[in-house]
Amino acid sequence: MSDQSKIPHQEGPEQGGPGKRLEKRAKPVLTPAQARKKKEKRIMIVMIAAAVVMVLAAAAVVAYNHWFQEPDLPPVGPVQSGAPDPSAPPGESGDPNFVMDTLEPKVGGERKSAKIFTVLIFGMDTTSGLTDTMMVATYDVTNQKAAVMSLPRDTLINSSARPGIDAKKLNAVFKVYGYGEKGAEALKNEVSELVGFVPDYYVQIDWELVGEMVDAIGGVWYDVPRHMEYYDPFQDLNIYQEKGYRQIFGSDAMQIVRFRHSNDGTAISDLERLEIQHGFLKAVLKQTLQIGNLTRIDQIIRLFESRVESDLDVKNMLWFGKEAVLGGLQVDDVEFLTMPTVLGRYGSRDFVYPVQSELLPLINEKLNPYVEEVTIRQLDLMSVAPNGGLRSSTGRLAEPSLANPPVVNTPKPEETDPVESGPLESGEPQDSAPVTTEPPPSNPVDTMPPASQPVEPEPPATAAVEPEPLPTQAEDGGPADWGETPE
């Protein structure tokens, strides 16, 4: 074999060398018809992809609108519970902070932010039919802050729905007006007399919702502030909660918010009860504002549909929840308040009434959604007058007879032992000089008439007159000759 044969064979471009590899990478030259067909194919692919995106976007919009929808604010009109009597005297007041004036329409007009809403929230006691919890909430979605003020059940109101004092408490309004939408609207109007504006919406909750909602969000960690124990078969209510910090679930949650007094007879005040409810609601809110709860929307929708009556749609309520979660609302951004009140009484009825000097600043700083400030002229606040009757900040009463002090029935005095004789209506006997008289002269024996004609001797002319004693006890045990004491 020659040396030439041992030299490796060198491939040229035509034998698949580097030139051949470069040739394979080169794009083939397409005819005009082929280029046009390829372009049409690319356009079709893009159009199909765009259509898929549009379908998905439309589905997302439909789902979004199904779950979340911003509520429309109701039209604002003047609300006035009754025309004040301009001839009514303003009345006197021992409270320098108490102002009496005529009633004006509630505030309205421009709002403090683009999205600020007010809601009246209340629950009903199924046993009595009275409203058990009432709260006014203002949620500023634009600035992500909220305030919730509780209204004590026994707040006295200037209502003309029924005569007498019994129907003059705030918790009776919903029942007096027949429940349902009519009762809720009446309650909104009565609440407007206390806060100066009509709440935009109302939400009536069933107490079962509290427990089921807590279960839906996976329980709540809460520090139970006191031992709670109460059993009432009539209400089918069994409460037993140990004091301390632990995770709370459905049935325990309902017991906590409904607790009012213990089996041993001790009761907590409405203010203490509201403080317990506020603390628990804060714990629930903290857990609810977790973004993971957006995955439980279907379950929450079912709860709202079965346990809530409202002039808001469920999707409106979910919109509020979505805005709070995605908007970054924190528990510290929600302020829980209680309407400042003092205790009062009319006859045998106990109640509370607002403190004007504290209520007005609280309303305007925390709750009023309007630029216009609430004044005493928009409020109808009841209280006790110096004479013991009732009065209103408007200078008029829906039931004028309540301006008079209550008639207190005096109980009939119990029977007592006979009273020792003494001077009539003069208290204890007074010391005085003894009265002395001379003994009467004796008659001669020979002047007596015959025994066959006895006659009674004439009374001595100078005999002392003894004071008549007070009536003594009669045979039947009662005081003789006193008459009956009127009741």
446: how many CB neighbours lie within 10 A of its CB? 5
Taking alpha carbons only, the member of 358, 345, 222, 230 closest to residue 285 is 222
Q: Please report where in the chains the tokens 């609207």 appear, as a residue.
A: 185
Question: Is residue 154 within 8 Å of 169, Cβ to Cβ?
Answer: yes
pLDDT tens-digit map of 209-262: 888 888 988 899 999 998 888 887 776 778 899 999 999 998 899 888 888 777
Q: Is the pLDDT of residue 280 over 70?
A: yes
Determine, yes or no, domain membership for 13: no
Segment holding 352, helix H or strand E: strand 349-354
Predicted confidence band at 448 (pLDDT cuts at 50, 70, 90)? Answer: very low
Tell me: pLDDT of 85 over 80.
no
Neighbours of 387 (CB within 10 A): 13
For residue 372, how many other CB atoms are within 10 A of its CB?
Answer: 17
Record the tokens describing residue 376, joined without a space. Answer: 């005493």
pLDDT (0 to 100) of residue 217 = 86
Pair (162, 216) in one structural domain:
no
Determine the Cα–Cα distance for residues 200 and 316; give it in Å rounded to an integer. Answer: 13
What is the number of domains present in the chain?
2
Tell whether 115 and 258 lie within a shared domain: no
Residues 345 and 201 in one domain: yes
217: domain range? 208-289
Kindly state whether residues 200 and 344 are assigned to the same domain: yes
Q: How many residues does the chain have?
A: 487
Taking the C-alpha atoms of residue 199 and residue 192, their distance in angstroms, rounded to an integer, is 7
Name the nearest CA neighbour of 194 among 148, 137, 116, 136. 136
Checking if the pLDDT of 428 tops 50, the result is: no
d(CA 268, CA 259): 9
Q: pTM of the full predicted structure?
A: 0.67
**Dihedrals φ, ψ of 117, to 5°?**
-130, 155
Query: Is residue 86 in some structural domain?
Result: no
The pLDDT of residue 18: 52
More confident residue, 96 or 99: 99
- Which of 289, 319, 349 is the C-terminal boundary of a domain? 289
Return the number of other C-beta atoms located less than 10 Å from residue 158's C-beta: 23
Tokens encoding 231: 């059993």
Q: Is residue 475 part of a domain?
A: no
Same domain for 181 and 221: no
Average of pLDDT values for 453-477? Answer: 42
Tell whether 241 is covered by a domain. yes
- Tell whether the model's pLDDT for residue 447 goes beyond 70: no
Residues 283 and 352 placed together within one structural domain of the fold: no
- Whether 466 shows a pLDDT value over 70: the answer reads no
What are the C-alpha distances in Å from 124 to residues 53, 185, 341?
A: 48, 15, 22
Q: 270 and 226 in one domain?
A: yes
- Same domain? 201 vs 344: yes
Same domain, 256 and 278: yes
Predicted confidence band of residue 416 (pLDDT cuts 50, 70, 90): low
- Residue 191: CATH number of its domain: 3.30.420.590
Q: How confident is the model at residue 272, as a pLDDT?
A: 83
Other beta carbons less than 10 A from residue 390's beta carbon: 26
- Distance from C-alpha of 14 to C-alpha of 12, rounded to nearest angstrom: 5
Q: What is the pLDDT of residue 477?
A: 36
- Whether 226 is covered by a domain: the verdict is yes
pLDDT interval class at 39 (50, 70, 90): confident
Are residues 360 and 382 located together in one domain of the fold? Answer: yes
265 lies in some domain? yes
Q: Write down the mean pLDDT value for the chain.
A: 75
| Confidence class for position 430, pLDDT limits 50, 70, 90 | very low
* Residue 104 vs residue 263, higher pLDDT: 104
Q: What is d(CA 93, CA 383) in angstroms, rounded to the nearest whole number?
A: 10
The pLDDT, as a whole number, for residue 234 is 73
Task: At 208, give phi and psi (nearest 5°).
Answer: -60, -25
CATH number at residue 224: 3.40.630.190
The answer on 344 and 195 residing in a single domain is yes
